[in-house]
Chains A and B, each alone.
Chain A
Amino acid sequence: MSKIREYTISNCEKNFLLKCLKDQTRLDGRAFDEFRNIEIEFGKDYGCCCVSLGQTRVLAQVTCEIQVPKSSRPSEGILNINIELNPIAAPNFEPTSKNDLFTQLNRTLEKCLKDSKAVDLESLCIKMSEKVWALRVDVNVLNHEGNILDCASIAALSALHHFRRPDVTCDGEDFIIHKYSQRDPIPIVIHHYPVCITYSIFERGEFILADPTLLEEGVADAFLTVGMNSYKELCGLHLGGKAELNPDILIQITQKAGNRAGIVVEQIKKAVKEENEKRLEDKSIGFHNKLCSTKNIDFEDLETCFDQWRIAPKRKHKDTEKNMIGETVEEQIQTENFSVKIEKKGSQSAVLVPEEFEEVGRVWGDSDEDEDAVVEIPKKIQTVSLLDSDSEEESTIVLNANSQTKKMEEITI
Chain B
Amino acid sequence: MSRNRELISNIGLRLDGRRALELRRIRCKLGLFSEPDGSAYIEQGLTKVLAAVYGPHQVRGNRSKAQHDCAIVNCQFSMAVFSTGERKRRPRGDRKSTEMSIHLHQALIAAIKVELYPWSQIDVYVEVLHADGGIYPACVNAATLALIDAGIPLKEYLCACTASLASNDIPMIDISHQEEIMGGPTLTVAALPMSGKVVLLEMSQRFHVDHLPKVLDKALKGCIDIKNILDEAVKNNVREIGSSTGWASST
| B187, CB-defined interface residue at 8 Å | yes
Q: Does B99 contact A (CB under 8 A)?
A: yes
Q: Tell me if A244 and B204 are in contact (CB < 8 A).
A: no
Q: Is B234 an interface residue (CB 8 A)?
A: no
Q: How many residues of B contact A (CB 8 A)?
A: 33
A244 touches B110 (CB 8 A): yes
Q: Chain A residues with Cβ under 8 A from B187's Cβ? A: 237
Residue-wise, chain A 217-251 has the 8 Å CB interface mask toward B (1 for contact) of: 00000101001110111111111111111110011
**Number of contact residues on A: which range applies?**
35 or more
Known: A250-B216, A251-B216. A244 touches B198 (CB 8 A): yes
Pair A254/B209 contact, Cβ less than 8 Å: yes
Q: How many Å lie between the Cα of A171 and that of B139 in the bound state?
A: 53
Q: Check A107/B95 contact, CB under 8 A, given A231-B208, A233-B208.
A: yes
Chain A: CB-nearest residue to B195? A244
Query: Which residues of chain B in 210-243 are interfacial with respect to chain A, using CB atoms and an 8 Å cutoff?
Result: 210, 212-213, 216-217, 220
Once bound together, how far apart are the Cα atoms of A306 and B6, in whole Å? 59
**B202 contacts A237, CB within 8 Å?**
yes
Shortest C-beta distance, A85 to chain B (Å), equals 14
Determine whether A61 belongs to the interface, using a CB cutoff of 8 Å to chain B.
Answer: no
Chain A residues near B209 (CB-CB < 8 A): 228, 232-234, 254-255, 257-258
**B201–A107 touching, CB < 8 Å:** no
Determine if A63 is an interface residue (Cβ-Cβ < 8 Å).
Answer: no
Query: How many A-B contacts are there with CB distance less than 8 Å?
Result: 104
Question: Given the interface contacts A100-B98, A107-B99, does A251 sit within 8 Å of B212 by beta carbon?
Answer: yes
- B25 at interface by CB-CB < 8 Å: no
Task: Check B98–A254 contact: CB distance below 8 A.
Answer: no
B89 is an interface residue with CB less than 8 A from chain A: no
- B79 interface hit (Cβ, 8 Å): no
* A244 and B96 contact, CB distance less than 8 A: no
* Contact yes or no, A234 B207, CB < 8 A: yes
Whether the Cβ atoms of A103 and B102 lie closer than 8 Å is yes
Inter-chain contact A234/B206, CB cutoff 8 Å? yes
Q: Is residue A106 within 8 Å, beta carbon to beta carbon, of the partner chain?
A: yes
Q: Which of A11-57 contact B (CB under 8 A)?
A: none
Given A100-B102, A234-B212, is A243 in contact with B95 using a C-beta cutoff of 8 Å? no
**Binary per-residue interface labels of chain A (251-292) against chain B in the complex, 1 for a CB within 8 Å, 0 otherwise:** 100110110000000000000000000000000000000000
A247 and B217 contacting across the interface, CB-CB below 8 Å: yes
A111 within 8 A of B: yes
Q: Is A116 interfacial (CB 8 A cutoff)?
A: yes
Q: Is the CB of B206 within 8 A of A229?
A: yes
Is A115 in contact with chain B by the CB < 8 A criterion? Answer: yes
CA of A192 to CA of B207, assembled, Å: 12
Q: How far is the CB of B22 from chain A (nearest CB, A)?
A: 21
- Whole-angstrom distance between the alpha carbons of A240 and B209 in the complex? 19
Q: Is B153 an interface residue (CB 8 A)?
A: no
With contacts A244-B198, A258-B209 known, is A111 near B204, CB below 8 A?
yes
Report the Cα distance A222→B106, complex, angstroms: 9
Interface centre among B199, B208, B209, B212 (most CB of A within 10 A): B209
Whole-angstrom distance between the alpha carbons of A239 and B217 in the complex?
A: 16
How far, in whole Å, are A237 and B110 apart by their CA atoms in the complex? 18
Chain A neighbourhood of B106, CB < 8 A: 222, 240-243
- Give the nearest-CB partner of A240 in chain B: B106
Q: Smallest Cβ distance from B18 to chain A, in angstroms?
A: 24
Interface members, chain A 102-119 (any B CB < 8 Å): 103-104, 106-107, 111, 115-117
With CB as the reference atom, state the residue of chain B lying closest to A106: B95
- Determine whether the beta carbon of A237 is less than 8 Å from that of B199: no
B205 to chain A, nearest CB (A): 6
Check if B57 is an interface residue, CB within 8 A of chain A: no
- Which residues of chain B have a CB within 8 Å of any CB of chain A? 95-96, 98-99, 102-103, 106, 109-110, 185, 187, 192, 195-210, 212-213, 216-217, 220
Additional pairs, 10, CB under 8 Å, beyond known A232-B210, A238-B201? A103-B98, A117-B205, A117-B206, A233-B206, A233-B208, A236-B206, A239-B201, A240-B102, A247-B213, A247-B217
5 tightest A-B CB contacts, nearest first: A237-B203, A239-B201, A244-B197, A240-B106, A235-B206
A-B contact pairs, 21 of them (CB 8 A): A103-B95, A115-B205, A116-B204, A228-B209, A231-B208, A232-B210, A235-B206, A236-B206, A237-B187, A237-B201, A237-B203, A239-B198, A239-B201, A240-B102, A240-B106, A242-B110, A243-B110, A243-B198, A247-B198, A250-B201, A255-B209
